[in-house]
Amino acid sequence: MDDIFDDDMKSRLGKGRMYVIIAGIIGALIASLSVYFTRGDFPIEVMAGAVLASFLLLLFEYFKSGRRNRNIPETDERISENLFKFLSNLSHIAIAVLVIGLTVISLLNIEAVPIVYIWVFFLIYILVGSIGGAIVKSK
């Protein structure tokens, strides 16, 4: 894997996905340059994030393309049904937790809830959904 853009890699990845990843880096560069010319400071964080995201996408596409050689479908009806049940139950539980939390907050006469708690709740919801979905899909 010395040259990431060798012919074997291009044939395994597909040209369309490579172009999207490269266009993302170019778009971040153009946006960073426009901020540099309008404000006077170069946002290195944007470029670092774009390069890291592009690198992770390249790794994801490389390993994903290596697993396509099998003729077995990734999901069947049982897996799709189990995944649907899990995600629908998770969303119902999340709504129930929100309603119960809102009820408790109302009963305690709390007028304002810090936005950090709401963000933590949603991030935990996304984390549980993604990890649980991966576990349900693998079984």
Query: What's the domain range around 22?
Result: 7-66
Residue 58 CA to residue 50 CA, distance in Å, equals 12
Same domain, 17 and 52: yes
Task: Flag whether 72 is in a domain.
Answer: no
Pairwise pLDDT comparison (106 vs 139), residue with the higher score: 106
Kindly report, residue by residue over 61-103, the tens digit of the pLDDT. Answer: 777 766 655 666 667 788 889 889 999 999 999 999 999 999 9
Identify the domain boundary among 25, 43, 66: 66
- Whether 71 maps to a domain, the answer reads no
Using only C-alpha atoms, the chain has a radius of gyration, in whole angstroms, of 22
User: Do 45 and 25 share a structural domain?
Assistant: yes
Q: Which two tokens stand for residue 20?
A: 């999207």
User: Are 95 and 116 part of one and the same domain?
Assistant: yes
Where are the alpha helices (H) located in the chain, listed in sequence order? 7-13, 15-39, 44-66, 77-107, 115-138
Residue 113 domain-assigned?
yes
Residues 31 and 51 in one domain: yes
Q: Within a 10 A sphere around the Cβ of 21, how many other Cβ atoms?
A: 20
pLDDT at 1: 45
The domain boundary residue, chosen from 66, 94, 115: 66
pTM attached to this predicted model = 0.49
